[in-house]
Structure 1
């Protein structure tokens, strides 16, 4: 059982939050696989290790209001399932805005170049009731890694790849206030560029809210990635050389961390973006630090 406060199905006039009770129920399934192989041929040795894990969950019982449409319910969805609006395109002009359902998500009226959202429930307005499950959650379903190490005599080499799959994160498109805009704005919608890739320019925190800055299937992106997490090359000087200077061991090495990321995500770092749930937090999210070291290790 999952502890839940059943506030969604209680009377709003009750006036207090209800205590948590054993009510929710989730179903989890998955697997973990790890394979290791190592061998030595003369002075050459190698070790290969690969791991992959898969986790899938589904909410079986939740505090869903009985009167809301089924597509708004948590039951049947995975934990952390992202919900948002379906984007049909951009408004072309004032006539296009007038011919489509009114956007009531903020107090600001739509302008040409804004997102045109799908009216899911067909009530003639765009509200929170038009949100549907989109993408995956910010928790990856697949996590894997591949580690290879090998050596010959005094030379050793190791490399580690790590990646995730089936995970989503929304892209930060608008800047905060008067700060510098993201480079996507170079391809923004304008009256003379109506085939643009990105919507029209708006301040990121304008008074009354930005109708484009929502969870939607345009800004929600595949945050899967593969990273070259660690790499090291090391050379240990022969002990016969070191005996003369009374040193037990001396190695030269070069290593690095977070050297390369392969991803379709249009942003700084899909790994760190998926760890932040709110737009404002993501605006201050830094990518993983790339580290390169050169060094000398001595043992006396």
Structure 2
């Protein structure tokens, strides 16, 4: 079912024109898995019981800013705001979903249950753990046994050892929040970390003509969406068999907490020695197997991109007419010229979900958009 209302308008003797559209649609009988009685011999069955809704508004504007004999300046603008919602899921009100980016070996844990689908929510909700403080257990969190070289957590300090399963559990280990207060960090402490859906998207175009010269620039933007940076997860941990290859600079030997002496290459465990070695460490030790789904991997994907820029010149007809050409224009165009964003990956305009449309907004081994330049001629005889 779709409902919409629109308005077209012209103002100031057609100097400004535009369109406004508001819409609301509801989609029923979506095919989803439903849990069925075990007596049937199966755990679930595909049924037409899902329901979603979308509502939003779109605005388009066109304007002739300056219009003279030898100079023309015009602009266009568009923006779209959309809000989606999962209305019904049947008997099961929510479930966790795997992006399936990696299915075995590397970062297997990262790929399991990294999204959540729930009634009242949206498709694209990223699901995982929150990092506690600066992300590192401190020396004050442990008792140290000098005879055995073992660190033991003090009473009342949340324990995520079973989740992290590191080669090293002590000061500098990744520390996650115990949200339910039971003292153990596990699946019960997972929350929605981000949302792949933007708050609004849009673009604007500027076009200018002066005598024989012309110029046009098109910008587009996305605002308010999150990106699940799985590359960042892989390259900030010591995953099995790969040690520290291709590790990001933020996790280099000067930044990360380490238990290995640079001078001797030996493992250091005593608090005094460790504290001296890691005096300037601002990142946790990457000595754990697979990446964990944490808010460290969720980044703001908002961006503004200069998508297209074209510069052209049309030769005077008094010159081209002598050789039988009515119009001759030479131009140069550039594409994907510049992007303003806080995203740390190669390209914020990315989504590499595999196997399911329920896990958008993932950046994993995606090839970034290329920058292109074209030179051409427009000839009319």
Range into which the TM-score falls when normalised by the shorter chain: 0.7 to 0.9
Helix, strand or coil at the partner of 1:105: helix
Find 2:81's aligned residue among 54, 59, 77: 54
Q: Which deviates more, 193-202 or 78-87?
A: 193-202
Confirm whether residue 27 of structure 1 aligns to residue 59 of structure 2: no
| Closer, same or farther: CA 117–36 of 1 in aligned 2, 3 Å | same
Equivalence for 2:17: none
Deviations 1:256-276 (A, max 9, x none): 11111111112211112xx12
Indicate conservation of the 8 Å contact 2:164/2:174, yes or no.
no
User: Which runs of structure 2 are paired with 1:140-289 in the superposition (5 Å)?
Assistant: 140-171=198-229, 172-173=231-232, 174-175=234-235, 177=242, 179-186=245-252, 187-190=255-258, 192-193=277-278, 196-202=281-287, 209-210=289-290, 213-272=291-350, 275-277=351-353, 282-289=363-370
Deviations 1:41-88 (A, max 9, x none): 1222222110000111222322564799xxx77122222111121110
2:77 and 2:306 map into 1 onto residues whose CA distance is: 14
Equivalence for 1:135: 194
Equivalence for 2:68: 41
1:81 and 1:52 map into 2 onto residues whose CA distance is: 23
Helix, strand or coil at the partner of 2:194: coil
How far did residue 110 of structure 1 move? 5.6
| Closer, same or farther: CA 128–33 of 1 in aligned 2, 3 Å | same
How far did residue 195 of structure 1 move? 5.7
Q: Which deviates more, 221-230 or 191-200?
A: 191-200
Equivalence for 1:102: 160
Indicate conservation of the 8 Å contact 1:64/1:74, yes or no.
no
How far did residue 277 of structure 1 move? 3.6
1:232 and 1:73 map into 2 onto residues whose CA distance is: 44
RMSD value over aligned CA atoms? 3.0
Confirm whether residue 16 of structure 1 aligns to residue 82 of structure 2: no
Indicate conservation of the 8 Å contact 1:64/1:73, yes or no.
no
2:342 and 2:58 map into 1 onto residues whose CA distance is: 26
1:35 and 1:60 map into 2 onto residues whose CA distance is: 33
2:323 and 2:344 map into 1 onto residues whose CA distance is: 54
Indicate conservation of the 8 Å contact 1:170/1:215, yes or no.
no
2:94 and 2:328 map into 1 onto residues whose CA distance is: 72
Equivalence for 2:180: 121
Larger radius of gyration: 2
Helix, strand or coil at the partner of 1:42: coil
Find 1:292's aligned residue among 360, 373, 377: 373
1:34 and 1:44 map into 2 onto residues whose CA distance is: 24
Deviations 1:131-172 (A, max 9, x none): 111222x23231110111111221110001101011001232
1:152 and 1:276 map into 2 onto residues whose CA distance is: 44
Unmatched 5+ stretches in structure 2:
1-27, 96-115, 143-150, 259-273
**TM-score normalized by the length of structure 2:** 0.66
Indicate conservation of the 8 Å contact 1:31/1:55, yes or no.
yes
1:52 and 1:29 map into 2 onto residues whose CA distance is: 14
Unmatched 5+ stretches in structure 1:
none
2:298 and 2:192 map into 1 onto residues whose CA distance is: 11
Q: Which deviates more, 29-38 or 190-199?
A: 190-199
Number of corresponding residues: 284
Helix, strand or coil at the partner of 1:270: coil
